[in-house]
Amino acid sequence: MFQSKSPLYYQLAEIIINDIKEKNLQENDRILTEREYCEKYNLSRSTVRQAIAYLEKKGYIYKVQGCGTFVSSRVMKQKLLKFYSFTEEAKKQGKTPSSKILSFKEKKADEKICKELNINRDDKVYELQRLRLADDEVVMYEKTYLLEKKMQGLSKNILLENPLYDILQNRYNISFTKATERFSVLLADEKIAEILTIPQGSPIIRLQRWTYAGMEIIEYTVSLVRGDRFEFEVELEEK
């Protein structure tokens, strides 16, 4: 133990991560105190504090003043090799997914949305704003634009019944052929911080998604994702 060339705080952080996994600690379970780690591994308080700060920054743990340090909510992982649904992926990871519709309306597309969906200025779209939750915790804010002519009669009540992609496929017989996604990293402003229930200035992921049916774009979505609760993963293979 503590024989590699990595900094001591990093080695301790790896030990704590392994403890969380091997002991199958659950969200909100308490871990050892700084003093207990010092005594157990014969480390200085500054080294232990550095390891705890590193793990807190990475989202593995969180501290409650006067109460201790606890295991954080598990970060949701999303592979990007094929079409995916937030609802189905959350279920695979043992979480209970839900959505809260903030607004749903039909409107004429403005210049930006016309460009993103490659439609005419007079075309109508549905604008859907919603929160995506995992185990009742907000992880994502989405604003989605859909072609009205491809899904006439879509309503808030219909959206409350089933996941959006299930509705498009089963109710409107829309077959997805591909999707393009673009990622960027931002800092949450006051409005978004309040929506996502995170401190202002926290890192968030801005995800844009264009979904195609044939050559036609039928969905454009902008998602703002909590950086401490979600990570995306790409697997690269040598050909």
In 3D, which of 224, 218, 215 has the Cα closest to residue 145?
Answer: 218
Which H or E run includes 204?
strand 203-213
Whole-number Å distance between alpha carbons of 222 and 56: 28
**Least reliable range by pLDDT among 163-167, 201-205, 233-237:** 233-237
Tell which wins on pLDDT, 6 or 194: 194
Cα 56 from chain centroid (whole Å): 18
Q: Where are the domains of the chain?
A: 8-71, 76-233
Question: What is the arithmetic mean of pLDDT over 195-209?
Answer: 91
CATH classification of 76-233 is 3.40.1410.10, yes or no? yes
Average pLDDT value for the chain: 85
Over 90: is that where the pLDDT of 187 sits?
yes
Say if CB 131 and CB 104 are below 8 A apart.
Answer: no
pLDDT of residue 25: 80
Residue 74: its pLDDT value, please? 62
Residue 116 has pLDDT above 80, yes or no: yes
- The type of residue at 221 is T
At the topology level, CATH places domain 8-71 in Arc Repressor Mutant, subunit A (1.10.10)
**pLDDT tens, position by position, 124-160:** 999 999 999 888 888 899 999 999 999 999 999 999 9
